[in-house]
Structure 1
Amino acid sequence: MASSLWKTINADLYRYHGQTGMRAFISTYLEVPGFRFTYYMRKVAFYSRYKKSFGLFAYLYNRARYQHYRFKYGFDISPTAHIGPGLYIGHFGGVVISPYAVLGKNVNIAQGITIGATRRGENQGAPTIEDRVWIGANAIIVGKITVGHDALIAPGAYVNFDVPPNTVVLGNPGKVVSDSGSVGYVNNQIETEG
């Protein structure tokens, strides 16, 4: 159980500098707000499932740290969102991800992004973001849509439609403008089974 938590945290850590280990953990924890927040978000998600095994104190302590960094950095990302290993948060401020969203492995997100659910219309629900997707600053992705693997959502794009794999979406309203995708944008990718 706990080994899967540390595998995921190490995958997140690796995305920042291409290293793991205690020295990389300490320097990244101290210097990178996105990693520090993600660390506590992962722990809250884990301890909420295993409170009886690890104790209520561990859950409450990590929940308090998560809430502190949530407000300090402006990350509104629920621990109940399904977020794969290798999450990279490039800058802090104004990040909103629906608790019902699904994010794959090696996803990059920037400041000001919203990945939100809609409650009406044909796309009622939350987005699924597949592996190796790069999402630029102030992009908005809403509704029960799928952003295909290796896609790039440009800064400021508004996306409420399915995005094919290996494409670039630009503008508001968003349009697919290229088939070059996120190649070269998603660095220090982690390899995982499955």
Structure 2
Amino acid sequence: MSNVLYLHGFLSSPQSVKAKSTVQWFAEHHPDVVVHTPALSNYPSKVFGQLERYINSHPELLQDGLKVIGSSMGGYLATYLVERFGGKAVLINPAVKPYELLIDYLGEHVNPYTNEVFELVAEDMDVLKALDTEVLSTPDAYHVMLQTGDETLDYRQAQAKYKAGTLVIEQGGDHSFINYPNHLPAIASFLSVG
């Protein structure tokens, strides 16, 4: 039995298309793999503590090395976790400097999946920045999937940060990563599950 942690992005949820297709694909092709999809807090200042508590309450995630898939902000969180606990991560159009990106989004938001109203404040950016990992201790622990047409993030930031890892760069596409399910066999292979 293997365990995979899937981390959704900002303004997303376990009900996102990628999260659901990941769970469905593993259930169909590798039923011995448990995919964990926690609903992450909309507040960046709370999410890191939430993740640590989740991992502490699910020690099976660390049994044979942490295996995590992170999309967008989830990719930033996944990098933090791998640098902290070890393991491997697959990052999909990951946020590299979310504290720079989200500074333009301070104020009130509504999560479209949960309808939760929340407010981003400057302190959230400080928390995000404090947990940045500028130098990766094990660059080969990362398989990074980028599409150049990402309208939300500049893929070149991730290309530069993870250049010593495994990079898959597709021309075009968008922030959702078009045709993501086609990559799930390679994702499972990289994470050594199935």
TM over 0.5: no
Structure number with larger C-alpha Rg: 1
| TM norm structure 1 | 0.30
| TM norm structure 2 | 0.30
More helix by share: 2
Which of structures 1 and 2 has the larger relative contact order (alpha carbons within 8 angstroms, sep 6+)? 2
